[in-house]
Each structure stands twice: as C-alpha cells, then as structure tokens.
Copies of this chain bind each other. A is one copy, B any other.
Amino acid sequence: MNGYFRRPAGVKDYLPPKVRKKRRIEKVIVEIFEKWGYEEVIAPSFEYLETFGKTGKSVAEKVFKFFDRHGEAMALRPDITTSIARMVATHYSNHREPLRFYYLGNVFRFQEPRKGRDQEFYQIGCELMGIAGLEADVEIILLASHILEQIGIKDFLINIGHTKFLEGLLDELDDNPSLKDSIAQAIKEKNFVWLKNLMEESNTKPDIKNKFLALPGFYGGAEIFHELEKLPSNKKCTEALSELKRVWNMLKQFTSIQLTFDPGLARGMDYYTGIVFEIYSPKSGFPLGGGGRYDSLLDNFNGYRPATGFALTEDVILSILEGDMEDIYEPYYLYYNPSKYMEAFQKAEELRRQGYIVKMVPDKNV
C-alpha cells in the first residue's frame, strides 16, 4: 500500500451511477442536435500551442502545455470551438454552404480546484458557420434553450450582450488603450469602486464620465434599451444596440425563455465579435454555458467565415439534474460453481438474449 493512488486536483472519477445519468442527458441532447441538422465532429485533444493564440488572454494563461518529441509546443485544448475552427480550415476551405457541427468533449484549464473549478471538464456544444445574418444568433440561442428545457432544466435565464456595444462606448473615451482596457474590465466585473477610481484618472469630459459610472448598474429587461440610448453613442454602439433589439424581439416570441440584457457581458474568449450570451440557473453558482458570434476566428486560419455557437458545461448541468434523476440499474446476479462454469455461461447467454443484464458471480456453494 502506498500513496500512488492519489487523484490529481480538479479532475473527476465518474463512477457508474453518475455515468448512467450523464449518458442519459447526452442522449437527449444529441437527438436534438441531430434533428436541428448538426453533425458530430471529434477534435484532437491537443493542438499546436499557437493554434490557441487567438482564443484569448484569460484562456491562454490557463493552457496546459507540453512538448512533443520534436520539441514543438503543444496545448491540451482549453476550448473546442478553436479546434473546430482549425478543423474547418483544414477540411472545408472550399465549402461555402452553412456548416453545423456539434461535439461532446473534455477541455483542460489550469484552475484553482479549491474554488470549485475543474481542471478537466466536459462540454457539449455546437457551431453554426457560414450564416452572417442575425437569424443564426437566434437559432443558436433557441437551440440552447430547447436543449435545456428538454433535459429538464426549468428555471434558466439567458443573459445577452454584444461585444461591439462596449467597444463603441470605449471609443468615446479620450484615454490610452491600457486605461481603456482597465475601464472595460471594471464594467465587465461590475466593479463600481474600481470604475470610479479609473474615471478619476480619465481625461474624458465629466458628462461622459458620469454616464460611464452608471454602466455597471445596467442589467435587466427591455427597459435597459431606453437607458442605453442616453449614453454617449456612435455608429458601433447604434448598430450593436439595433442587433440586440432585433434578436431580443425574435426571442421574445418564445415566452418560455427568460432573457436579460447586460451591456458589459464578456465571455472568457477574445474571439467574440457580436451577440454573446451566458446561461444561468439559481441552482448553480457557475454558468450552465454560453456562446456567441465569432466572425473573425476563422480569419486566423484560412479566411473569413461568419460563425456562432455555444457550449454547455456538462458537469454543471449534471450537478443540477442528478439529484432528481433516479439511477435505474437492475442486473441479474447469476451465481455459479466454478467447476460448472460453461453450463452457467450458457444459462447467462440465454438470459441475455431475453434482455437481462447478467453478472456472473462465482460461489462454491451453488
């Protein structure tokens, strides 16, 4: 006996009762993806480190790196969307029709496990590539909602935003890029105190400053749009707001979807370029998933292709649902005397043909 059976921090062992529930949920989700015309792909678990160069700073810090035999730097995928973008660049460069893909896979991120975050966790997601119109954003959000409803998550809330809205607002500031980055960060984190300090450093006119100071408070329903129209504005902001309103109005036709709007919504990835969203439930402290438009990610590989998608964090969903799921597992235990194994085996086979799950167990007293 020794200590070699420690499990690394932030990774999980899935034992059979949990796996059965996980597979049941996946089956429902896969059927929906298939019906909606999404086709499954499987990406490699690692890519060249540089492939994830555009995934985002906050993710780059969390990448597990290693070197291959030839000394080239590899990265365990921290995100599957980037891998799929690379796959599309490799295999579909001449394909111009919309592409719809889904995946079930694990991702890897250096994280502090004591904060409840895993270093390896499972995602289920999809990508819709080749449709520039807002209806693709709507399809993706409807699909995510439909999946959550079908697997039995009743009380989720979808928070939407637009990357260009905050970008446009920041263009109105007369500050250096580093200060602008900090201001953006303070708004994303809804950190009023930090934002106030930053605004004191800012060279921007006082009336615009005051409007910025109000920003972290903007979060809610359709009434927010009116408030936002009072803010400093330019073409970028106006277009972003207009896109948000159109998506909002289409989604509002589905009364089952609870929507909120957050102008400072930021997802962890740097590749988003339009409508973004994050999904929450009162039953978990972690988002259930999220996604958005990433029209320029494919530019990093082999040319522009509009794209949007989302990923659900399967482990969060499983933790919400598993308590209410029954584990139905009723095997037939067939006890046999080892000296008469072959007879018992024939009996087991007969029972299996009849549909039973048969576990053979040696017992000298039989």
Asked whether any CB of chain B lies closer than 8 Å to the CB of A11, the reply is: yes
Contact A42 B19 (CB under 8 A): yes
Distance between Cα atoms of A358 and B35 in the complex (Å): 6
Residues of chain B contacted by A46 (CB below 8 angstroms): 8, 11, 120
Distance between Cα atoms of A115 and B239 in the complex (Å): 54
Across the interface, name the chain B residue whose C-beta is closest to A47.
Answer: B8
Stretch at the interface among A66-74, A180-188, A209-217, A277-285: A66-74
Asked whether any CB of chain B lies closer than 8 Å to the CB of A250, the reply is: yes
Interface residues of A in 83-119 (CB under 8 A from B): 86-87, 89-91, 97-98, 100-101, 106, 108, 110, 119
Q: How far is the CB of A313 from chain B (nearest CB, A)?
A: 16
Q: How far is the CB of A277 from chain B (nearest CB, A)?
A: 18
Distance between Cα atoms of A142 and B346 in the complex (Å): 12
Contact B331 A37 (CB under 8 A): yes
A residues contacting the other copy or chain, number (CB 8 A): 84
Contact with B along A333-366 (1 / 0, CB 8 A): 0001010011001000000100011111110000
Interface residues of A in 276-324 (CB under 8 A from B): 300-303
Q: How far is the CB of A12 from chain B (nearest CB, A)?
A: 7
Residues of chain B contacted by A303 (CB below 8 angstroms): 1
Contact B97 A51 (CB under 8 A): no
Q: How far is the CB of A327 from chain B (nearest CB, A)?
A: 11
Our pick among B16, B43, B120 for the contact of A40 (Cβ within 8 Å) is B16
Q: How far is the CB of A28 from chain B (nearest CB, A)?
A: 14
Our pick among B16, B37, B48, B135 for the contact of A8 (Cβ within 8 Å) is B48
Across the interface, name the chain B residue whose C-beta is closest to A88.
Answer: B5
Q: List 20 contacting pairs A-B, 8 Å CB cutoff, sorted by A.
A: A1-B301, A1-B303, A5-B51, A5-B301, A8-B68, A11-B44, A13-B42, A13-B90, A16-B40, A20-B39, A35-B352, A36-B359, A37-B331, A39-B329, A65-B66, A68-B119, A69-B110, A98-B362, A133-B362, A253-B342
Smallest CB-CB A-B distances: 9 pairs: A37-B359, A11-B44, A16-B39, A14-B42, A5-B89, A66-B66, A135-B341, A5-B301, A35-B352
Known: A5-B86, A15-B41, A135-B345. 9 other contacts (CB 8 A): A6-B48, A8-B46, A14-B42, A19-B39, A22-B42, A97-B361, A98-B362, A100-B359, A133-B338
Interface residues, chain A, with chain B CB atoms under 8 Å away: 1-2, 4-9, 11-16, 19-20, 22-23, 34-37, 39-48, 50-51, 53, 64-66, 68-69, 72, 74, 76, 86-87, 89-91, 97-98, 100-101, 106, 108, 110, 119-120, 131, 133, 135, 138-139, 142, 250, 253, 300-303, 329, 331, 336, 338, 341-342, 345, 352, 356-362
